[in-house]
Amino acid sequence: MTAVLPRDLLGRPLRDLRLSVIEACNFRCPYCMPADQIGDDYGLDAASRLSFDEIETLVRGFVQLGVRKLRLTGGEPLLRKRLPELVRRLAVIDGLEDLALTTNGSLLAAHAQSLRDAGLRRITVSLDTLDPVLFRELSGGRGELASVLAGIAAAKAAGFTPIKLNCVLQRGVNDDGIVDLAAYAREHGHVLRFIEYMDVGTCNGWSRERVVPSIEVRDRIHARWPLQPLDPNYRGEVASRHAFVDGAGEVGFVSSVSAPFCGDCHRARVSADGQLYTCLFAGAGHALRPLLAQGENALASYVEGLWEQRADRYSETRRIGAGSEAGASRRHVEMFLVGG
Ligand code: SAM
Ligand code: SF4
Ligand code: SF4
């Protein structure tokens, strides 16, 4: 183990790793992977993906540097073959305290129990609307609401409680469903989190007018079911949490556009082909694959050097340039490569 854990140039430790296990996805959500720009065969080259051996070495190396939370993502992670076997290998890594997965839920009904049995602790399912017609549209004409709801129910039955639900709001698209989604989450005991639509990647045609600021969402829910702010579970938690005063659980708001949180960003991202991104908006990654062949110690010392050079704070600089959208136009990695 490295004796002193690295800090970046802004004093931020490395605590949290998001690892994409596959670039491919069976949805084409317009805000992430628009169907007119990303072909159906995108990301199907299995040889480009890190193997399970490489992933295990990588995670062990990151744990040496202080990572305690690992989230598996994609693309759509449930498209990765033998995912429960990978989970089983990662769940036993000494020092890793939390192992979670983010999924679109479409294949979850078939896999929830085996993932639970393999040692997965937490599941987040993306759910932008409860309207079946709009749902299909928002999945790029690929998804069915019913199968996602069945996946969420299967995850609950398998013991994943509470389940987190991620909703990305777009003004004029799905923002009239806020109260319905909150009602569904309350009824089933899920933790709903509203995420501001972000200018990630280069192909979603983001515009600030489409963003629904969290404060507006909070006010709309509060008018129906009064809310009270909760303390963060830990420093650097990205969602600001609020409890329903009537005791029916909680709701969270991720305000990356209206209230950036770069100062507490302890997160690294690795794409399925082993590129490290030190920010969700990084223009380029660092290839880790060559290091993996040399083992976890070599990987850890290479990443340590990179982390100590990190100065990313894109969301804060975007806010500073708000009038002109300065900073919002430069090239940055696609969301489906780094998984949120
Ligand atoms: N396919 C899985 C899913 O959809 O949950 C995992 C990967 S997906 C890239 C991870 C998260 O990123 C999802 O919750 C999705 O809604 C969110 N996301 C994608 N594009 C986004 C955007 N432009 N702004 C905010 N969140 C976005
Ligand atoms: Fe696929 Fe998830 Fe991106 Fe939608 S948000 S296109 S489900 S990776
Ligand atoms: Fe972290 Fe980059 Fe997002 Fe800021 S913009 S919170 S540094 S990932």
Token pair recorded at residue 122: 């937490």
- Among the bound ligands, the one closest to the CA of 37: 2
- Cβ(22) to ligand 1 under 6 A? no
As a whole number of angstroms, the distance between CA 312 and CA 276 comes to 13
* Whole-number pLDDT of residue 330: 60
CA of 128 to the centre of ligand 3 (A): 23
CATH code, 16-163+264-338: 3.20.20.70
pTM (two decimals):
0.95
As a whole number of angstroms, the distance between CA 233 and CA 277 comes to 25
Query: Half-sphere exposure (CA, 13 Å, Cβ side) for 129?
Result: 21
How many residues appear in the chain?
Answer: 340
- Mean pLDDT, contiguous 10-residue spans, the chain (340 residues): 84 98 97 94 92 98 98 98 98 98 98 98 98 98 98 98 97 98 98 95 89 97 97 84 97 94 94 96 95 97 98 82 47 83
* Whole-number pLDDT of residue 204: 86
Cis peptide preceding 229, ω within 30 of 0 = no
**196 contacts 327 by C-beta, under 8 angstroms:** no
Closest-lying ligand 2 atom to the alpha carbon of residue 106 = 7
> Of the residues 257, 262, 264, which should be mutated to test ligand 3's pocket, given the most ligand atoms within 8 Å of the CB?
262
- Cβ(338) to ligand 3 under 6 A? no
CA of 329 to the centre of ligand 2 (A): 22
Q: 243 by DSSP, 3-state: which?
A: strand
What distance lies between CA 137 and its chain's CA centroid? 21
Summarised one tens digit per residue, pLDDT across range 160-194 is 999 999 999 999 999 999 999 999 999 999 999 99
CA-nearest residue, atom 4 of ligand 3:
262
Closest-lying ligand 3 atom to the alpha carbon of residue 280 = 8
* Whole-number pLDDT of residue 328: 47
* Whole-number pLDDT of residue 308: 98
As a whole number of angstroms, the distance between CA 44 and CA 83 comes to 16
> Of the residues 334, 336, 338, which should be mutated to test ligand 2's pocket, given the most ligand atoms within 8 Å of the CB?
336
- Among the bound ligands, the one closest to the CA of 108: 1
Domain ranges in the chain are: 16-163+264-338
Closest-lying ligand 2 atom to the alpha carbon of residue 32 = 3
Order of all β-strands in the sheet with 16-20? 227-229, 240-244, 250-254, 191-196, 164-169, 122-126, 98-103, 69-73, 16-20, 267-270, 275-277, 286-287
- Which amino acid, one-letter code, is at 179? V
Centre a 10 Å sphere on the Cβ of residue 228 and count the other Cβ atoms it contains: 10
**271 contacts 73 by C-beta, under 8 angstroms:** no
**300 contacts 291 by C-beta, under 8 angstroms:** no
